[in-house]
Amino acid sequence: MERGVGLLAVSDAANQREYQICANCVMDTSDSMIVFDEKGICDHCHNYYESIEPSWKPGSPEARAELAAMVSKLKSYGEGKDYDCIIGLSGGVDSSYLAYYAKEVLGLRPLLFSCDTGWNLNVAVNNIERIARGLDCELYTEIVNWNEMRDLQLAFFKSQVPYQDIVQDHVIFAALYNFAVKRGIKYTLTGANYSTECVREPNEWVYQNDIRMLKDIHARYGEAPLSSLPLCGMFKNHLYYRYVKGMKAYRPLNLIPYTKKDAIDTLHDKFGWEPYANKHFESVFTRFYEGYWLIEKFGYDKRRAHFSSLILTGQMTREEALSKLAEPAYDPKLAQEDMEYVAKKLGLTKAEFEAMMSEPNKTYRDYKNQSGMIAAAVKVAQLVGMEKRNYR
C-alpha cells in the first residue's frame, strides 16, 4: 500500500467527500473539517490572510514598543532577584533562538528549564547544553519518574488515540509551570510564534491539554499510580497560576522579524547548534509518533501544517513542500528501528506493539474529556485576540 493513501481513502470515504488539497498551501482532506472556496483555497489560508496577517506586524514601531514595554516590565520585576523570567528549552530552533534573543539582544536574565522525559536524542541534549553554556545561563533539568512516564505513555498507546505526544507535552508544560511557581518566577517566555506555526493542526490530529482525558485513559489502561509525575490542569494553569500567583506568558518571537532559516543559521554560527530532520524531532518518541504512528495508523501528516505555515509566511514554496511530502517523514529503516526501541522501552516486543497498533482507531471523544470547556476557553481567547489560529 502506498504510504498513507489507503488510510486517507478510508477516512475520506467515511466523511463522504473526495480527496482535495489546497491550491495555496498543502493542507488537505486528512483534516476532515477543512473547507475550500471556489478557487480551491482552504480556510486555514483564509484565516491567516484575514485574522493573523493584518494585525501581525513583527518589527513594526508598534511591535517594538510592545517588546520594549515587556522588557522593561521583566527587568523591573527582576530587580534584586536571580532571574527576570524562565524559558523552557527543548533544544529545538524556536526555544533555542528565544533563549539567545532574550539574553543577548534583549538583555534579560532568564533561567533555562529542561525536562528529561527519557526520550531525548543526543542532538537535543547537545543543543541544550550548547545554548546554556554559550549564553552563560543557569540550566535546571527536571528528570521525571520513568516508571510513571512509561506507564502513562503505554496507556495512551493502548487507548488508540492519534495524539500520542500529549503525555510528553503535558508533563513538560506542567513541570515548567510547577517549577516556576515553586521558585517564585512569574514570567515565562515561550517560543510559540505565527512565523512557523500559523496553521494549527486540527484537534482530530492533536487534541491536547485535557487532563480529564489523560486521567481517564490512565484509569482504564494504566497500572502505576501517578504520584510524582508533573500534572497541571486547565483551571490550575489559567485560573490559579494566572490570577492567584500572577503568572504570565509572553511570546517575543511574534514581535520580531523571525524566520526559521535565519534562526538556524544564527544558532549554528554562534553555538554550533544542530538542526533536526523535522520540527519536533528532538525526541525519538516524537520522531516515531509523528513520522510513523500518526501517518501509518491514521493518515495524518503533521508536516502538512508545518509546511503550510512556512508557505504562508513566505519561507517555503508550495512546490518544495509537495516534494518533501512525497518522501517518507524519515527513513523507513530507522522507523522500524525506532519502533523496536520504543516498544522495548515500554516493556513490549515489536510484535506486541504491531498487534496493538493494528487495533481499531479511537479519538478523544471515546474518553471522558473537557472539550466543551476547552473550546469555550479558546473562543474567549480568540475574542480578546490571544488566539487567532483556526481551532476545531
| Structural contact between residues 13 and 299, judged by C-beta atoms closer than 8 angstroms | no
Mean pLDDT by 10 residues, the chain (392 residues): 38 66 98 98 98 97 98 98 97 96 98 96 94 98 98 98 96 95 96 97 94 97 96 79 87 98 97 78 87 97 97 98 95 95 97 97 97 86 85 87
| CA nearest to 152, candidates 125, 118, 115 | 118
Single-letter residue type at 38: E
Question: Residue 23 corresponds to which cell in the numbers above?
Answer: 491550491
250-288: buried (b, 16+ CB within 10 Å) or exposed (e) per residue?
A: bbbbbbbebebeebbebbeeebebebbebbbbbbbbbbb
Distance CA 222, CA 391 (A): 30
Per-residue pLDDT at 279: 60
Per-residue pLDDT at 182: 93
Distance CA 144, CA 104 (A): 30
User: Please, is 80 exposed, middle or buried when counting C-beta atoms within 10 Å of its C-beta (0-12, 13-18, 19+)?
Assistant: exposed
* Distance between first and last Cα of the chain: 30
Estimate the crossing angle of helix 166-183 against helix 211-221, to 10 degrees: 120
- 75's CB contacts (< 8 A; 6+ apart) are 84, 107, 108
Per-residue pLDDT at 3: 34
Single-letter residue type at 138: E
Per-residue pLDDT at 244: 81
Question: Residue 44 corresponds to which cell in the numbers above?
Answer: 486555514
Rounded to 5°, angle at Cα 307 from 301 and 308 = 100
DSSP 309: H
Question: What is the H or E stretch that residue 110 is in?
Answer: strand 110-116
| Structural contact between residues 59 and 257, judged by C-beta atoms closer than 8 angstroms | yes
| CA nearest to 229, candidates 173, 285, 281, 286 | 173
Tell the residue number behind the cell numbers 466543551, with chain if given: 372
Q: What is the pTM of this model?
A: 0.92
Per-residue pLDDT at 15: 53
